[in-house]
Structure 1
Amino acid sequence: MSKGMKENMISILMMIAGNFVIAAGVALFIFPLNILSGGVAGIAVAIEPIFHLDKTLVVNALTIGLYIVGACTLGKKFALKTMISTIIYPFFITFTTFILKDVTITTNPLLGSLYGGICIGIGIGLVYRVGGSTGGMDIPPLVINKYTGIPLPTLVMCVDGLTVILGASTYGVEAAMIGLISVWICGQMIDKVISFGGHDAKQIMIITEKREEMIKEIFKEIDRGITILQAKGAYTNTDKPVIMIVVYKKQFATLNHVISMIDPEAFVVVSDVNEVQGEGFTYQQEL
């Protein structure tokens, strides 16, 4: 099997798994507890008291209908990227809601919102990780953005806001607030899944008058690559070379000790880094 074919198979399996996890989260938590989450599931929950339509039917109709709109307006590339999710998600949501209809994990709306958000976030993250799209309520902001030029983040916020307002009008403000927990947790999990497998690290910028001594000691104690950035003090107009180094989080305490030992008055800026690639991180085993 060629490398390209293997990668395509892995991508398809990840998208299938992601859509299944989303459907399971909806069937186990969102639908039974009427959680006003984001996406088409949240819309289905919000409008049920108004139109008394089956939530699964609404999700399937919106998923397919929005895909057709997106395919017609956003082009072939979007249609291909979203096709798998559009085909398998309606099947999974129908299957899981039928199989799990008698399964009750919790009757607490707060717990349901929390764990529903976790499941949906993990599922969406798996799909996004391989460059796929879940379609659904992602499509209206994309279509409006194409014709109006309104920034996409603004449109996404507006769509989510309208979903919450709709839910608040049918279930009350408290239910909408519980739903917001699911939306927030979902966003956090998407970020975690997308960045999973990366190296959590810290980037340190050091300005010191004892540069050579500092570099020598860092090499001795940590054995990490160092980059010298050329900078100039704005007030003094003198050159101030900056030592930049990226270390694993567990190495930061050692580096901090080295800095304090060599030059306690050094100017140090520390930033968290979610992912690092390159020699010493990608190609070598973590220390």
Structure 2
Amino acid sequence: MKNKWITKNRLKNLTLIFVGSLLYAISVNAFTVPNELTEGGLTGFSLILFYIFSIPPSYTIFIVNIVILAIGYKFLDKRTLYYTLIANGIISVLLLVVKEWAFIPETMLLAPIGSGLFMGAGIGLIMLGHGTTAGSDIIAKLLQKYAGLAIPTALLLIDILIVVPSGFIIGAENVFLTLINLYIQSKMIDFVLEGLNPKKSFFIISEKYAEVAEAIEQQLGRGITILDGKGYFTKEKKEILYIIISRREVLRVKRIVEMIDPNAFMTISQVQEVTGEGFTYLSEEVQAQRITEAQKEWDY
């Protein structure tokens, strides 16, 4: 009989969480602790306790995160809470498993680079698995939901507030190295969550909007939306072109617009995620399958 609890999505999420947790543990034990660096958020708090009182980070990270989850569980949906509890447990165990791993480079700058790459990749994979590492990740999700901040930016801000005061314990030089670590982390999380080819959105206002739209469609094969607008000062009606493209296509669009209408007004923005036809089109059969699996998964 087929096990209804085990689905492809759930196995995928658990795999992402396990690999992410392993990278997280390697970052802490192999790069951060041996080189007397710290981290942001509650992990950084746990490391400060370790440097002062020699309390193993695996214990403090687990206990503090459980407390945070107990306080903030209502801000997480049932699925995220479920996977976060799993991630927290796996991280605590793996921190004990790889506690003897250490990498102390001759070039000190390699330590924060390695720590940032591993930690950023780990957190990103855990988030892709619909979990968090609790602590500052929960706060980051709240900031994303209520303040509109991107998760990497929110994490970076929280981490800085934790790291800067730690200079009294690990020294100013190691604080600067830790800030490098955190910056690399934020970029690595961004890379894992958005991939190699993040999207850009264009708003284009031009008197020759029809020619611009036709040229973009013919040369790039991208669909374009025409929005109705009105100038506040002139009260004139304007047609606004809206298009989402890959980063590699930005220069081509700019050149097309500038060639047809040098006076056109353009804004270019970073797009966090794009779903739907033309970007992540799924057949009706696959859509139905994913909806069914997602509904089952939300029960856990």
Same fold? TM cut 0.5: yes
2:96 equivalent in structure 1: 94
The residue aligned with 2:297 is none
Q: Distance in 1 between matches of 2:136 and 2:262?
A: 53
Cα distance, 1:120 vs structure 2: 0.7
The 5 A counterparts of 1:1-287 are 5-51=7-53, 53=54, 57=56, 59-75=57-73, 77=78, 80-98=82-100, 100-101=101-102, 104=103, 106-136=105-135, 138=137, 161-165=161-165, 167-196=166-195, 199-283=197-281
Distance 1:70 1:266 in 2: 51
Contact 2:41–2:162 (CA under 8 A) maintained in structure 1: no
The percent identity for this pair of structures is: 29
Deviation at 1:44, TM superposition (A): 4.5
Query: Deviation digits for residues 19-75 of structure 1, max 9, x if unmatched?
Result: 000111122211111112224553344344532x15xx2x12212312442354344
Contact 1:205 1:245 in 2 (8 A): yes
Q: Secondary structure at the residue paired with 2:33?
A: helix
Give aligned pairs, total.
268
Instruction: Give the deviation of 1:170 after TM superposition.
Output: 1.9
Distance 1:156 1:270 in 2: 24
> Is the partner of 2:266 in helix, strand or coil?
strand
8 Å Cα contact 1:47/1:170 also seen in 2: no
Distance in 2 between residues matched to 1:262 and 1:151, nearest whole Å: 39
8 Å contact kept, 1:22–1:124 = yes
Quote the Cα distance in structure 2 between the aligned partners of 1:25 and 1:155.
17
Question: Structure 1-normalised TM-score?
Answer: 0.79
Structure 1 unaligned spans of 5+ = none
Kept after mapping to 2: 8 A contact 1:36/1:164: no
Contact 2:39 2:159 in 1 (8 A): no
* Aligned equivalents of 1:184, 1:155: Cα separation in 2: 10
What is the RMSD of the two structures over their aligned residues, measured on CA atoms? Answer: 3.3
Closer, same or farther in 2 for the Cα pair 1:33/1:128, shift >3 Å? same
Distance 1:211 1:136 in 2: 48
Letter of the 1:236 counterpart: T
* TM-score of the pair, normalised by structure 2: 0.76
**Residues of 2 paired with 1:112 and 1:205: CA distance?**
42
SS at match of 2:238: coil
Q: CA deviation at 1:232?
A: 0.9
The answer to whether the 8 Å contact 1:203/1:273 transfers is yes
1:255-274 alpha-carbon deviations (Å, 9 max, x no partner): 33332332222222233435
Q: Distance between the aligned counterparts of 1:155 and 1:259, measured in 2?
A: 37
Q: Secondary structure at the match of 2:229?
A: coil
Return the alpha-carbon distance in structure 1 between the equivalents of residues 157 and 272 of structure 2: 25
Query: Aligned partners of 1:170 and 1:80: how far apart in 2?
Result: 35
Mapped partners of 2:148, 2:221: distance in 1: 43
* Higher Rg of the two aligned structures: 1
SS of the residue corresponding to residue 204 of structure 1 reads strand
Structure 2 distance, partners of 1:113, 1:65, is 26
Aligned partner of 2:25: which letter? Answer: A
Secondary structure at 1:231's aligned position in 2?
A: strand
> 1:246 deviation in Å?
2.3
